[in-house]
Amino acid sequence: MKKSRVVDRTRLQALKISEIRSSTTEFNLYLDVGSDIIPYAQGIHQWSVAEKRQLLKQGQFILLYAREDAERVSQYLETSPAEPLGPLQPNTPVELLISDGIAEFLKTRYTYPLSVKQALSFKSLAAALQEYLERHPELGILLWRLHEHDAYTYYHSARVAAYAVGISAALQPDEPGKLWDLALGSFLHDVGNINVDAKLLQRAGPLQPKEWDQIRKHPDESMQLLSGVALNPFVKEIILHHHERMDGGGYPHRLPGGELPLEVRIVSFAEVFAALTQPRQYQTRRTIEAALHLIESSLLNFLDPHLLDSLLTLLDQNQVKEDKTPPSLS
Ligand SMILES: [Fe+2]
- The residue among 301 and 322 whose pLDDT is bigger is 301
If you measure from the C-alpha of residue 143 to the centroid of ligand 1, how many angstroms do you get, rounded to a whole number?
A: 14
Whether residue 309 is predicted with pLDDT greater than 60 in this model: the reply is yes
If you measure from the C-alpha of residue 121 to the centroid of ligand 1, how many angstroms do you get, rounded to a whole number?
A: 27
* Domain termination residue (choose one: 87, 113, 142): 87
Residue range 197-204: average pLDDT?
Answer: 88
Domains: count for the chain: 2
Q: Do 117 and 223 belong to one domain?
A: yes
Q: Do 158 and 120 belong to one domain?
A: yes
Q: Is residue 185 part of a domain?
A: yes
Q: Is residue 302 part of a domain?
A: yes
How many percent of the chain have pLDDT more than 70?
88
Residue range 202-231: average pLDDT?
Answer: 92
If you measure from the C-alpha of residue 222 to the centroid of ligand 1, how many angstroms do you get, rounded to a whole number?
A: 9
If you measure from the C-alpha of residue 152 to the centroid of ligand 1, how many angstroms do you get, rounded to a whole number?
A: 12
Whole-number pLDDT of residue 320: 43
If you measure from the C-alpha of residue 251 to the centroid of ligand 1, how many angstroms do you get, rounded to a whole number?
A: 10
pLDDT digits (tens, 9 = 90+) for 234-269: 999 999 999 999 999 999 999 999 999 999 999 999
Whole-number pLDDT of residue 116: 82
Whole-number pLDDT of residue 125: 95
Whether residue 330 is predicted with pLDDT greater than 60 in this model: the reply is no
If you measure from the C-alpha of residue 221 to the centroid of ligand 1, how many angstroms do you get, rounded to a whole number?
A: 11
Q: Is residue 327 part of a domain?
A: no
Whether residue 113 is predicted with pLDDT greater than 90 in this model: the reply is no
Q: What integer best gives the mean pLDDT of the chain?
A: 87
If you measure from the C-alpha of residue 204 to the centroid of ligand 1, how many angstroms do you get, rounded to a whole number?
A: 17
- The residue among 116 and 55 whose pLDDT is bigger is 55
Residue range 68-89: average pLDDT?
Answer: 73
Q: Do 120 and 203 belong to one domain?
A: yes
If you measure from the C-alpha of residue 91 to the centroid of ligand 1, how many angstroms do you get, rounded to a whole number?
A: 25
If you measure from the C-alpha of residue 186 to the centroid of ligand 1, how many angstroms do you get, rounded to a whole number?
A: 10
Task: Give residue 91's pLDDT band: very low, low, confident or very high (50, 70, 90).
Answer: low
Parent domain of 290: 88-322
Task: Give residue 96's pLDDT band: very low, low, confident or very high (50, 70, 90).
Answer: confident
Whether residue 80 is predicted with pLDDT greater than 90 in this model: the reply is no
* Domain termination residue (choose one: 68, 87, 106): 87
Whether residue 39 is predicted with pLDDT greater than 50 in this model: the reply is yes
If you measure from the C-alpha of residue 31 to the centroid of ligand 1, how many angstroms do you get, rounded to a whole number?
A: 33
Q: Do 41 and 51 belong to one domain?
A: yes
Whole-number pLDDT of residue 53: 87
Whole-number pLDDT of residue 327: 37
If you measure from the C-alpha of residue 191 to the centroid of ligand 1, how many angstroms do you get, rounded to a whole number?
A: 8
Whole-number pLDDT of residue 329: 38
Contact, 129 vs 185, CB < 8 A? Answer: no
Which residues keep their CB under 5 angstroms from ion ligand 1? 190
Q: Do 64 and 92 belong to one domain?
A: no
Whether residue 1 is predicted with pLDDT greater than 50 in this model: the reply is no
Task: Give residue 164's pLDDT band: very low, low, confident or very high (50, 70, 90).
Answer: very high
Task: For residue 34, give Cα distances in angstroms to 8, 284, 328.
Answer: 14, 34, 18
Q: Do 81 and 92 belong to one domain?
A: no
Whether residue 2 is predicted with pLDDT greater than 90 in this model: the reply is no
Contact, 100 vs 16, CB < 8 A? Answer: yes
Q: Do 231 and 307 belong to one domain?
A: yes
If you measure from the C-alpha of residue 281 to the centroid of ligand 1, how many angstroms do you get, rounded to a whole number?
A: 18
If you measure from the C-alpha of residue 189 to the centroid of ligand 1, how many angstroms do you get, rounded to a whole number?
A: 6
Task: Give residue 159's pLDDT band: very low, low, confident or very high (50, 70, 90).
Answer: very high
If you measure from the C-alpha of residue 242 to the centroid of ligand 1, how many angstroms do you get, rounded to a whole number?
A: 6
Whole-number pLDDT of residue 69: 93
User: CB under 8 Å to 131, separation ≥6 — which residues?
Assistant: none
- The residue among 171 and 10 whose pLDDT is bigger is 171
Whole-number pLDDT of residue 90: 60
Q: Do 42 and 111 belong to one domain?
A: no
Task: Give residue 281's pLDDT band: very low, low, confident or very high (50, 70, 90).
Answer: low
Comparing C-alpha atoms, which of 16, 58, 24, 61 is closest to residue 41? 24
